[in-house]
Structure 1
């Protein structure tokens, strides 16, 4: 199954739409927070199930702060990351994923794209489609493949 992972769109949809149209078809969309009131638009934009969590800029939101989802038999923690101090490192968020029996953790907040394996946990930050902060400041997202009986595979993609 193909999963599109985005984060930190901050209420601006143009690049999100570009990523969606570029990657269609996919089976699941995950937004790691800071949608700023655009969750209904995002759910209407795609023709698949969505997981959308709240970020530090999602004031007065009813979105969950984090979710554990199961995709192709893999438990995945989805959160924005700010409550785990991800700006200072991923140790806390990796420990949270491990404590919940997850194989992967997906988060945003830093606007820096990254994929790494840390202590047996796949750590994915898709970066930002609106305000990238990494060198070169390219708009980014991630695509993950999940299949029963196989390891999760993911890559960062740029607009």
Structure 2
């Protein structure tokens, strides 16, 4: 399974649309969002753009009105808004999802997960740490002039980082 991994949208649904279009073209059948949609409207748009495919999301430090976002996820058959740090098993892999690097590093050090994914820093990172994939897909906001996301292949257990240029 190919999983689209992305973070730090900060209400830039136009950038989300570009990234989702590319992730769908690359055959992603599942999505993981690592926080900072910012508003319920942006979270609703994220749910819509997944097209009914599974979405695992965690909140970030700039996500407001979480109660409304949780209601939106509850109304979806495929979207889940988890707590700020969650451990999941998907397609034979154990994942740690969080917006915050501290949780990802903690899980990578523990050796209890196959992949520890995080956002928050807006910096794309992909490294192996004690046999664990420790990765941040970058940002959808585009502060750096690029939109970043990752594609994690659960068969090969490799995550490729992608970036798109855009006209701000």
Report TM bin, short chain. Answer: 0.7 to 0.9
Deviates more, 1:48-57 or 1:65-74: 65-74
1:72 to 91, 95, 106: 91
Structure 2 length as normaliser, TM-score?
0.78
Which contiguous aligned blocks of 4+ residues in structure 1 show a shift greater than 4 angstroms? none
Trace 1:17-32 onto structure 2 (pairs within 5 A). 17-24=17-24, 25-32=27-34
- Please name the residue that 1:33 is paired with: 35
Do the aligned partners of residues 49 and 100 (structure 1) sit closer, same or farther apart at CA in structure 2, a change above 3 Å counting?
farther
Question: TM-score, normalised on structure 1?
Answer: 0.83
| 2:159 paired residue number | 154
Correspondence for 2:5: 5
Hey, what's the Cα distance between the residues in 2 that align with 1:30 and 1:93? 14
Structure 1 CA distance for aligned equivalents of residues 124 and 95 of structure 2: 18
What secondary structure, in the 3-state scheme, does the structure 2 residue paired with 1:139 have?
A: strand
1:144 aligned partner: 152
Give the corresponding residue for 1:59. 64
What are the ranges of 5 or more consecutive residues in structure 2 without an aligned counterpart?
68-80
CA deviation after TM superposition for structure 1 residue 71, in Å: 1.8
Judged with a 3 Å threshold, the aligned counterparts in structure 2 of structure 1 residues 50 and 100 are, in CA distance, closer, same or farther, namely farther
Aligned residue pairs, count:
145
Deviation at 1:130, TM superposition (A): 1.0
- Determine which structure has the larger helix proportion and give its number: 2
Q: 1:97 Cα shift? A: 4.2
